[in-house]
Amino acid sequence: MSFGDDLYVLYRGPLASCNYNCPYCPFAKRVDPPELLRGDKSDLERFVGWVRETTDRRLSVLFTPWGEGLTRSWYRDAIVELSHLPHVARVAIQTNLAARTGWLSAANPQVAALWATFHPGQVTIERFLSRCRELDALGVRYSVGVVGLPAHFDDAVALRAALPPSVYLWINAADGHVYTADEERRWTALDPRFGDSVRPHASLGQPCHAGETAISVLGDGTVRRCHFIPAPIGNLYDGTWRAGLRPRACGNSLCDCHIGYVHLKPLQLRDVYADGLLERIPAVWPLEVVS
Ligand code: SF4
Ligand code: SF4
């Protein structure tokens, strides 16, 4: 069987609830009403059906819910099913890793992956690490990240020290925080790629894969270039997404989120992450120490 070109798909349904209470997040402890959850479930099932049937592209899917998805059975079921489809190269989700992980034993560990974020104050390092050890035992790929707030630094150091060297720890620059040179150096010592995140990228007029080989999909099938440019370029379910794909320059002045700027062509980050693009694992990791 041969597949067409790669298409990276970021999916975000209406779900916006979370079991955690992070002070830096608008979705902290938010509760979704039952009808919204039912809608999120049926939207996701429709999306899974689209993936199942779209066999002429090699698809890589990242679920980027506003809140936490893995406490909902339909996200777990979607990851298991998609991981077994021959034309799906990757299925990953952004998660706080609070939920149990045993369900992943039914997934294909060559395809399913997690983008896990540690949230200081919401969970102990030991408990978070126990989840990571479960993933190690299952053979599931994952990255671990921390928001680079000054108050998180000691926890990030402890996490880096405790994680196996084979696990990549990323640091996201905190929104609105301007890093001194010394802070930047200290965070970079934990994450050698912190420089990608520390300052927003001037993207206006720059060529970007988003809208050409990467798309953002909403629950109703609206297709946009990325999560950061609201104009639709088509819909998944009427087939118009196909005609909407073409090379384009970015129309925003800045791109400051990893799930966006990894597609910004001048940064060449697809070469850095390769198969680990969606779950944020550099292709060469751990870095070789040159003595
Ligand atoms: S775990 Fe994520 S979604 Fe939940 S409150 Fe924290 S930052 Fe928000
Ligand atoms: S550079 Fe960022 S904001 Fe601009 S099109 Fe690409 S992903 Fe979207």
Q: Please enumerate in sequence order all residues whose Cβ is within 8 A of that of 133, keeping only pairs 6 or more positions apart, or say none.
A: none
Q: How far is CA 81 from CA 77, 158, 208, in A?
A: 6, 35, 30
Whole-number pLDDT of residue 2: 55
Q: What is the pTM of this model?
A: 0.96
> Whose CA is closest to 201, among 226, 222, 232?
226
Residue among 19, 21, 22 whose CB has most ligand 1 atoms within 8 A, to mutate: 22
Query: Atom 8 in ligand 1: which residue has the minimum CA distance?
Result: 25
pLDDT mean for each 10 residues of the chain (291 residues): 81 97 91 97 98 98 98 98 98 97 98 98 97 98 97 97 97 95 98 97 98 98 98 98 97 97 98 97 82 44
**Under a CB-based contact definition with an 8 Å cutoff, are residues 252 and 226 in contact?**
no
Q: Is the CB of 259 under 6 A from ligand 2?
A: no
Whole-number pLDDT of residue 110: 97
CA distance 140 to 110: 8
Whole-number pLDDT of residue 188: 98
Q: Is the CB of 252 under 6 A from ligand 2?
A: yes
Give the CA angle between residues 142, 147, 151 to the nearest 5°. Answer: 130
Residue among 264, 267, 268, 269 whose CB has most ligand 2 atoms within 8 A, to mutate: 264
Whole-number pLDDT of residue 266: 98
Which domains, ranges and CATH numbers included, belong to the chain?
6-276 (3.20.20.70)
Whole-number pLDDT of residue 291: 44
Whole-number pLDDT of residue 199: 95
